Amino acid sequence: MSLITRRIVICLVLVYSAALLHAQERLVSVLGQQTLTLEQQIDSVVLEFGLDVQKKDLAHAFRLLKLIKRRIRCVALTYHTVDPKGRDVIASGLVSYPEHGWWRGTVEMSPYNREKFLCGSSRLYTTEVLASVLGYVTLIPDNIGYGATDSLDIAYQMSENSALVSAHLREAAAEYFSKHLDKKLPRKTFIFGYSLGAPNALALAYHYADKPESNVHLKAVCLGGGAYNPTLAFDLILSRGGISYLFYPGLVRSLNSWKDTGLDPSQLFCGRVLEEYETISRGFTSPLDLAREYGTDIHSYLNPNFFNGHESPDILRLREALTSLSIPPESIHPLPVSVEVVLRHSAEDDIVPVACTDALYSRLKAPLHHVIYRRGKKGTHYETAVRSFIDLALLLL
């Protein structure tokens, strides 16, 4: 090889390496940061979930938590990722870690549903940072439609995209720790998700299982109260006639924005919900508050064609879209047998039917050896959320 040829090859290698390095950079900026103590968080958790802390197991858990004096640093980041259509966007998320002591591992949290303005990066706090009091780095993406992407419609139940958004936050966090703290993000990882976050968390677990090059040592997945099969959840809610959570206008808007389903709200809703669809579907008001305002009887706001046996083309397209959102898909391979999976759901859950987790457990228990299903007889959706956090704490201790 001539000297000129060698120089050309070296230049090409350098250009390619620089391009590759640039392509792998995720971190964009630091939006803000603050330090919290655990005591500052307890009251907000109780208020946010409307908990009865006099119940024996909840009261005991909170007494134990208040004994922990660890200080937590919360940092809001922006980073490069993609939206559900694969387009490049700059999203945001929250990273928390213990200010002192060694880091025992990483917990990746898929956040539960909340109003647009209540994401972690905007408040520099979210309930999920509680995992950091046990000595772990905690990663909580805002997800598409929140924080830095709040000009976009919320990507409800877009689990595959949520997995990418979460994985890209991990890469951005690793860059942040390397550049600003000269530390490495721990490989040992736990994944947690409750309610709307549970299917997203499961999708993230499959994402890492399918990508061993991600260098993530996945130890366990902890899930609670999730609608892993949205079609099953919807049919059961139709059959019982009511739900204290007015979520479907937002979901229809999300499907139209990100899946191009072309659903006509007038063929799916009726009454005040149809009249005010454009306002209530944007995610600025919680589905709980919407249910209090518009009622819990689905007959009062769903199109009569849902109940008279004459399903319209829009209803059929909605069903097809809901089926496409199921996690895990039928074709996906199982998680590694070394990964422990802990499931929780309450038979009294009035928002997400317990049958969704029953069905998931039936699918997971055959190929996996370490699947634990804690199916409670009592407890609201929100009380069970706290018990799911306790499940996670037991895994982390």
- Ordered by where they begin, the domains of the chain are 26-229+328-396 (3.40.50.1820), 241-324 (no CATH)
Question: Which of 222, 221, 216, 223 has the alpha carbon at shortest distance from 105?
Answer: 216
Residues 100-150: tens digit of each pLDDT:
878 999 999 999 998 998 899 999 988 888 889 889 999 999 999 999 999
Alpha-carbon gap, residue 288 to 292, rounded angstroms: 6
Residues 6+ apart with CB under 8 A from 90: 28, 78, 79, 80, 81, 148, 149
Q: For residue 226, name the pLDDT band (cuts at 50, 70, 90).
A: very high
Cβ of 214: how many Cβ atoms within 10 Å? 16
pLDDT value for 395: 93
Alpha-carbon gap, residue 240 to 62, rounded angstroms: 35
The pTM (predicted TM-score) of the whole model is 0.87
pLDDT value for 42: 58
Question: Which of 56, 50, 49, 376 has the alpha carbon at shortest distance from 225?
Answer: 376
pLDDT value for 329: 73
Answer for the pair 59, 47: CB distance below 8 angstroms, yes or no: no
pLDDT value for 40: 59
pLDDT value for 259: 96
Percent of the residues in the chain that have a pLDDT greater than 70, as a whole number: 84
Q: In what order do the strands lie in the sheet with 217-224?
A: 27-37, 71-82, 88-98, 136-141, 105-110, 188-194, 217-224, 340-346, 371-376
pLDDT value for 8: 46
pLDDT value for 2: 57
H or E segment and range at residue 320: helix 313-324
More confidently predicted of 32 and 214: 32
Residues 150-170: tens digit of each pLDDT:
999 999 999 999 999 999 999
Answer for the pair 74, 34: CB distance below 8 angstroms, yes or no: yes
